[in-house]
Amino acid sequence: MSDSKKNKVMKKNTNPWFEAWRRLLQSKIGIAGLGIIIFLILVAVLAPVLAPYNPFEQNILARYKAPSSEHLLGTDEMGRDILSRIIYGSRISLQVGLVSVSLALVFGVGFGLLAGYYGGKIDMVIMRFMDIMLAFPSILLAIGIVAILGPQLKNAMLAIGIINVPRFARIVRSSVLSIKESEYISAAKALGAGDLRIVFKHLLPNAMAPLIVQTTLSIATAILEAAALSFLGLGAQPPSPEWGAMLSDARSSLQRAPWVATFPGLAIIFGVLGFNLLGDGLRDALDPKMKNV
């Protein structure tokens, strides 16, 4: 092995992120969660190949067909194949999770950095505002926002993003406060580093570990919240194969065709479980101190 290669390997092994990745791969729940998420992503990407039927195609002659070799998970009131709808629905759930949590992440991190770094009045105004948002039971605030904006998947994602902002802001702020006064930050300032450099080069990387954990767990709750909104008719609208919306359709046919309600629910549990498991695994891997908290 040449010297430069050796150095590279040495460097890699001492990198905390590499160390965390190694720990994640050792944790059973982390691996299980990662496996579920990779599976979901593959299903979403390969939906046109995997789905045996067109998820929107109605067939009045095949209404409420019980699960069989022809329709593995049965059909719904319009004779649509439930398996195909669940497969396509994975695209919507992943999209909701990613879009709404990205939104929360961008604004939450921004507010958290501003509040933590500048302190004083800015901190007070921002954090009081966050406290007020946390004074609402979160799903109710989302319901309120969507009720006013109008029932659409786009608005549901926006509402879910908004209600998740305070959690991210709090994490970033507390992490910034804990290291703002450290000597190396003073040193960076003494060397003439500007605010932006300090914030993005020193403060933000320190908040990364809890942020990654929170992001993963928030995707799980975002999928649940979106399903709840769609179930109430406030999110994805028919004939969208969103999992929560599929459950909403199933209410009237519980007696006749319980499978219409069963499988989309199991799909939601599966997807949410994946992100929850990965979140738990990441928490153990990134910060062993946070274990069991």
In the complex, the residues that contact other proteins under the rule CB under 8 A are 128-129, 131-133, 135-141, 143-145, 147-150, 220, 224, 227-228, 231-234, 244, 247, 250-251, 254-255, 258, 261-262, 264-265, 268-269, 272-273, 276-277, 292
Measured from the CB atom, the residue of 114 and 219 that comes closer to other proteins is 219
Shortest spacing between CB 272 and other proteins, in angstroms: 4
Shortest spacing between CB 210 and other proteins, in angstroms: 18
Shortest spacing between CB 229 and other proteins, in angstroms: 10
Measured from the CB atom, the residue of 16 and 137 that comes closer to other proteins is 137
Q: Mind giving me the DSSP string for the chain?
A: --HHHHHHHHHHHH-HHHHHHHHHHH-HHHHHHHHHHHHHHHHHHTHHHH-SS-TT---GGGTTPPS-SSSTT-B-TT--BHHHHHHHHHHHHHHHHHHHHHHHHHHHHHHHHHHHHH-HHHHHHHHHHHHHHHTS-HHHHHHHHHHHH-S-HHHHHHHHHHHHHHHHHHHHHHHHHHHHTSHHHHHHHHTT--HHHIIIIIIHHHHHHHHHHHHHHHHHHHHHHHHHHHHTTSSS-TT---HHHHHHHHGGGTTT-HHHHHHHHHHHHHHHHHHHHHHHHHHHHH-GGGTT-
Rounded Cα distance between 287 and 104, Å, is: 22
Measured from the CB atom, the residue of 162 and 176 that comes closer to other proteins is 162
Measured from the CB atom, the residue of 21 and 107 that comes closer to other proteins is 107
Shortest spacing between CB 128 and other proteins, in angstroms: 7
Shortest spacing between CB 234 and other proteins, in angstroms: 7
Measured from the CB atom, the residue of 81 and 225 that comes closer to other proteins is 225
Measured from the CB atom, the residue of 127 and 176 that comes closer to other proteins is 127
Shortest spacing between CB 187 and other proteins, in angstroms: 37
